[in-house]
Amino acid sequence: YEPAPPTGPTQRPLEALGNFRGWYIRTEKLPHDLSWTVKQQCVDLLAEGLWEELLDDQQPDITVMDWYEDSRLDMCVYELHVWLLAADRRTVIAQHHVAPRTSRKGPSSYWIQVSHVFRQYGPGVRFVHFLHKTKNRLEPGGLRRTRVTDSSVSVQFRE
């Protein structure tokens, strides 16, 4: 394990700071020089090699996982929203939402893991819509961002 390098405010665009291929990114402005960076993507489970009968009959566990930095920019600096969707990409079969609050204890830039396992979600799941939000604050040197890394969606087969 190597901790992420320290970062400060930057004027560089987010896309210059990492690999965001496959993510749709937008910004939501908030009061008091705060904003959310919203990153989302929709994973097509059939395109990833799974098949309808497996998803409908076996319903393997679907795990979503993320790591975010406790940037201490606000009481809530991270949100995770996940929907298991049907083939029409609109019908929600299962969902999970979490917005952890910071404890403001321990070292700053502490990394926190967030995960959820979907089990016995019912037939029809074809897509996983994964969305996370991270808080930013505008400072004299630029934008101080809450970092997030190692986002994943995985499927586990049970015996």
Give the global pTM: 0.88
pLDDT on residue 12? 73
Query: Under DSSP, is residue 66 helix (H, G, I), strand (E, B) or coil?
Result: strand
pLDDT on residue 123? 97
**Which residues of the chain have a pLDDT value below 50?**
1
Helix (H) or strand (E) holding 127: strand 127-139
pLDDT on residue 111? 87
pLDDT on residue 93? 98
pLDDT on residue 41? 96
pLDDT on residue 104? 65
pLDDT on residue 4? 59
Nearest to 83 by CA among 94, 72, 98: 94
pLDDT on residue 158? 75
- In a 10 Å sphere around its CB, with 0-12 CB exposed, 13-18 middle and 19+ buried, how is residue 68 labelled? buried
